[in-house]
Amino acid sequence: MKLKCDVHTHTLYSRHAYSTILENVAAAKEAGLELLGSTDHFSAMLYPDYENVRHYQYLMVSHTWPKEIQGVRVLQGCEVDIVDMEGNLFGFDIPIWKNIDGDFYNDGKKMSLYERVCKKMDYCIASVHRNSFAKGESASACTKLYLEAMKHPKILILGHIGRSGLPFEIDPVLLAAKEQHVLIEINEHSMDEGSETKKRCEAIAVRCAELGVPISVSSDAHIALRIGEFSKVESLLERIHFPEELIMTRDKESFLRYMKKAGLG
CA–CA distance, 249 with 180 (Å, rounded to integer): 18
pLDDT exceeds cutoff 90 at 51: no
Report pLDDT digits (tens) over 248-263. Answer: 999 999 999 999 999 9
The 8-class DSSP code of residue 53 comes to G
User: What percentage of the chain carries pLDDT values higher than 70?
Assistant: 100
Q: What's the CATH architecture for 5-262?
A: Alpha-Beta Barrel (3.20)
Domain boundaries, the chain: 5-262
Task: Look at residue 149 in the predicted model and tell me its pLDDT.
Answer: 98
pLDDT exceeds cutoff 80 at 194: no
142 φψ region: left (φ > 0), alpha (ψ -120 to 50), beta (else) = alpha
52 φψ region: left (φ > 0), alpha (ψ -120 to 50), beta (else) = beta
Straight-line distance from the first to the last Cα atom of the chain, in angstroms, rounded to the nearest whole number: 26
Report pLDDT digits (tens) over 144-171. Answer: 999 999 999 999 999 999 999 999 999 9
Q: How confident is the model at residue 192 (pLDDT cuts 50, 70, 90)?
A: confident
**Dmax (CA) of the chain:** 56
pLDDT exceeds cutoff 80 at 117: yes
Tally of residues, the chain: 265
User: What rounded mean pLDDT belongs to the chain?
Assistant: 95
